[in-house]
Amino acid sequence: MTRQLSTEMQQCIDICHKCHDTCEQMLSRCMEMRSEQSMQLSMMMMSCADMCRMCADMMMRCSSMAKAGADMVQMCVRMCSMCADMCEMSAEMCRQVNTSEMTELADVMTRCADMCRQMTPQAMQPA
């Protein structure tokens, strides 16, 4: 038996997916540039994309367990916190590039970080 996702948890999963997808789209553009800065950005975007995907996957797994234990919920909360840290650090790097595409990516990363920071054990309770 699966449990219902809270609205906050579903929104967090959705923005994690959006951040992952946006990072991957920008990643291919950065790799075409072949500059030192674009290579550093590419590595950061890969890490951010992976972290967002892993965070969303973990929340979905946690929600699919009818009786997710407190330890598993705490692990999801910690994962969200690490994802928020990665998104904030990545957004800062993107803003230094100062292009409209990178600013848009930074905005998505910031929204993802903000949503991940809201994930507490209470926010992960079913609706």
Q: Specify burial of residue 32 (Cβ count, 10 A radius: 0-12, 13-18, 19+).
A: exposed
Q: What is the pTM of this model?
A: 0.89
Residue with tokens 């997808």: 21
pLDDT at 1: 42
Q: Tell how many helices (H) and how many strands (E) occur in the chain.
A: 4, 0
Structural domains in the chain, CATH included, are 7-117 (1.20.1270.360)
| 76, 119 contact by CB (below 8 A) | yes
Instruction: Give the N- to C-terminal CA distance of the chain in Å, as an integer.
Output: 15
pLDDT at 50: 98
pLDDT at 3: 59
Predicted confidence (pLDDT) per residue in 36-54, tens digit: 877 888 899 999 999 999 9
Q: Where are the alpha helices (DSSP H) in the chain?
A: 7-33, 36-64, 70-97, 100-117
| 94, 48 contact by CB (below 8 A) | no
Q: Which residues of 77-87 are buried (b: 16+ CB within 10 A; e: fewer)?
A: bebbeebbebb
